[in-house]
Every structure is written in structure tokens, then in C-alpha cells.
Amino acid sequence: MGARAEGRANALAGAVGKAPARIDGGVEVETGQGARADAAPIDAERVGEIRNALRDGTYPILPARIADAMIAARLMLSSPE
């Protein structure tokens, strides 16, 4: 991990364990250590691969797939449960 990435990681680590944040609409979002224990861990190696592919211009950007995911997220967030 480079010095720049370590600096960002340290800055993010300072936010870990803080109380849940409220976003528009009064929805609470848990962050850091308050997140669910059964949540999927971050695959740092895969994140690095994607970051490198984006930097090199070899990551396939599929606008239709991105648009579909954004529409699905909006529908999921706006549906009453």
C-alpha cells in the first residue's frame, strides 16, 4: 500500500465506530464497527485490481449496466417495507 493510500485508510479509520449517520429521509446508515457482523468483508486485492484497471483504462465501463443498477437502487430505496 502506498503512502497516499495509507493516508486515506488512516483518515477513514478515524471515522470507524462512530454513531450511525442520518441521511435524507431520516434513514440511518451504520458505518465502521457498527455495521453488521455478517456483512461481506472488503476484498482489498480485488479493489486493487479494479483500481489498476480503471487507471490503465482497461476496466469495461458498461453504461447500460450502470443505469440499470441505478434504477434498481432507486426502486429499492423508494419501496415501502
Q: What was the pLDDT predicted at 29?
A: 58
| CA distances for 75 relative to 30, 36, 52, angstroms | 21, 23, 32
CA distance 73 to 76: 5
Strand partners, 22: 28
Residue indicated by cell numbers 486485492: 45
Residue 66, pLDDT > 60, answer: yes
Please give the distance of CA 68 from its chain centroid, rounded to a whole number: 18
> What is the tens place of the pLDDT at every residue in 9-63?
444 444 444 445 555 556 665 566 555 666 778 899 999 999 999 999 999 989 9
